[in-house]
Each structure stands twice: as structure tokens, then as C-alpha cells.
Amino acid sequence: MVNLKIVNVPAGEGESLCRSCRYVHMQKGHRESDETIFCEWARPMRLVTFNVRVCTDYSDRNHPSRWDLEQTAWILVQPKEGGPIGFKSPAERKDDEDNDLAARS
């Protein structure tokens, strides 16, 4: 059996990675060719003039962001006064954080 290694082959036309990114601003017209894509990752928005294959700032909009996950996470805490260790919901943590800030003042 002969093994061939093919190098320097241009990538084929594929769908742009921007279509599934959370930082995309897309405008489409009635025709397939009527489309404009902007990247909102950095301000001001940048016009993207080609199909993107790899992007260092890509964030899949079909998955929750880290901030979204942190807002819904239950945290394991140990009370300062002692007592049982347990999980606290985001709302319970917010109440404690407000109390901690008031106690520091």
C-alpha cells in the first residue's frame, strides 16, 4: 500500500464561522448574495469581507457563556459562624454578598 501526503492544498469554500458566533451582526437580503457580516467583538464593529475559517475570539452562541454559567451556578459554602456546609443558589449568594458589604461599611 502506498501512502500519499498532500500538502499546500487550498481549503474549499465553507460556511463562515461567524454565522454561529455570539459576536456576529448579520444582515441578509432577499437574494443569497445579499449579506453583510460585522464582528462586534471589539468596538468599533469590523466588517468581515470573507468567510472566516478560524477566529481567536470565536464564542459559540449555541452554548452558554462563562458569565451565564456563573449566574446559575450553585456554590458550595461553609458558613463563617460554623454550621453545616451546603450549596447556595445565586439569589442566596447575592443576599449574603449584600450583607457582607454592609458589614464592612
Give the number of domains in the chain: 2
In a domain, 19, yes or no: yes
Q: What is the pLDDT of residues 86-103, one digit of tens each?
A: 888 877 766 665 555 444
Q: What is the pLDDT of residues 50-87, one digit of tens each?
A: 999 999 999 999 999 888 888 888 888 777 777 778 88
Q: What is the pLDDT of residues 22-35, one digit of tens each?
A: 999 999 999 988 99
Helix (H, G, I), strand (E, B) or coil at 67: helix
Helix (H, G, I), strand (E, B) or coil at 45: coil
In a domain, 6, yes or no: no
Question: Which among 62, 18, 15 is positioned nearest to 39, based on CA atoms?
Answer: 18
Residues 72 and 47 in one domain: no
Residues 37 and 54 in one domain: yes
> In the prediction, which pLDDT does 9 show?
53
In a domain, 32, yes or no: yes
In a domain, 5, yes or no: no
Instruction: Write down the pTM of the prediction.
Output: 0.56
In a domain, 3, yes or no: no
HEC per residue, 1-43: CCCCCCCCCCCCCCCCHHHHECCEEEEECCCCCCEEEEECCCC
103 and 95 in contact (C-beta within 8 Å)? no
Containing domain of residue 95, as a range?
Answer: 65-105
Residues 74 and 105 in one domain: yes
